[in-house]
Amino acid sequence: MIPESLTLGSDLSVRRLGYGTAQLTGPGYWGPRGDARDAVAVLRRAVERGVTLIDTADNYGPSIAEELVAEALHPYPADLVIATKGGVVRTSDSAWHIAGRPEQLRAMCEASLRRLRVERIDVYQLHRLDPEVPLAEQLGALDELRREGKIRHIGLDTVTAEQLEAALELTEIASVQNRYNLLDRASEPLLKLCEARGIAFLPWFPLGNGSLTADPVCSDIAAAQGATPGQIALSWLLHRSPVLCPTPGTGSLAHLEENLDAGAIRLTAADLARLG
């Protein structure tokens, strides 16, 4: 049996298929994507299907994704966990500027609180480590916000195992987000560290940004299971490690249903051996 849920930060239980909001915005995560009513419908359907973790970021849009989450779901169900990210400033659809000074992180967090219409953010993730700012200062700013009750748990995005170790010497870390999927396992050392320390790992690009459809083994297993390659890839993540919690994103109701149906797929030992 694979576990259907995991615990974030020792006190937040979430189902292991969440929903990510990046695809609710335009190309390059910039500007709106179509009619906002469609995005609202997708978010509401995700929660109807039992999703209890919504992963978003202040720079998706910018601001648009967080605003859509609040429009669709506020007041939030008691069991819904909202995770957002700060530490990156967008100036165009292709420009990302790391901004990790304490005053910047505070301003970003407080803006996210207003957009999400909450007094405390369940999981606030540092979107990128700022190489120009000491790690202790970046995490110190988030710790201060946590002490003030504005953040419940701290997460990190795109880090190495060594950087996570350094962060853990400074504060508690509830989650990490790194690129990880069936065809990209470069973050395997980080995954092993998360398993050892009981830290949730939220893999981004869990579907390989479309590349999985070209993998013959994944396609063969999908055909045998009566599933899609994307469903097999998500199921593989759920089988791979109990700390993995994929949050695939989509702006399509049909694709949302497909992704969430992956939770019911059970891969055999032979399937897992073929997938490696």
In order of 23, 29, 63, 237, the CA distances from 33 in angstroms are 8, 9, 13, 28
Superfamily of domain 5-207+243-249: NADP-dependent oxidoreductase domain (3.20.20.100)
Please state, in angstroms and rounded to a whole number, the distance separating the CA atoms of residues 165 and 13.
24
Alpha carbon 218 to its chain centroid, in Å, reads 23
How far is it, in rounded angstroms, from Cα 163 to Cα 160? 5
Contact 43, 54 (CB under 8 A): yes
The model carries a pTM of 0.96
Give the pLDDT of residue 208. 84
d(CA 85, CA 175): 12
Which residue among the candidates 60, 76, 124, 180 is catalytic per the annotation?
60
Q: What per-residue confidence (pLDDT) applies to 2? A: 87
> What DSSP string runs through 87-105?
SEEEEETTEEEE---HHHH
60 among known catalytic residues: yes
- In the DSSP assignment, the letter for residue 271 is H
Burial label for 217, CB within 10 Å (0-12, 13-18, 19+), is: middle
- Token readout for 195 is 């398993």
Q: Is 195 exposed, middle or buried (0-12, 13-18, 19+ CB in 10 A)?
A: middle
Q: Please report the pLDDT score of residue 234 as a whole number.
A: 97
Among 16, 113, 105, CA closest to 63:
113
| pLDDT by 10s per residue, the chain, length 276 | 789 999 999 899 999 999 999 999 999 999 999 999 999 999 999 999 999 999 999 999 999 999 999 999 999 999 999 999 999 999 999 999 999 999 999 999 999 999 999 999 999 999 999 999 999 999 999 999 999 999 999 999 999 999 999 999 999 999 999 999 999 999 999 999 999 999 999 999 999 877 777 789 999 999 999 999 999 999 999 999 999 999 999 999 999 999 999 999 999 999 999 999
Extended strands (E) in the chain: 5-8, 12-15, 19-20, 53-55, 81-86, 88-92, 95-98, 121-126, 151-157, 175-177, 200-201
CA-nearest of 50, 51, 64, 71 to 21 is 64
Long-range contacts of 188-192 (CB under 8 A, 24+ apart): 189/160, 189/161, 190/159, 190/160, 190/161, 190/164, 191/241, 191/243, 191/244, 192/161
In three-state secondary structure terms, 56 is coil
DSSP string of 105-161?
HHHHHHHHHHHHT-SSEEEEEESS--TTS-HHHHHHHHHHHHHTTSEEEEEEES--H
**Per-domain residue ranges for the chain?**
5-207+243-249
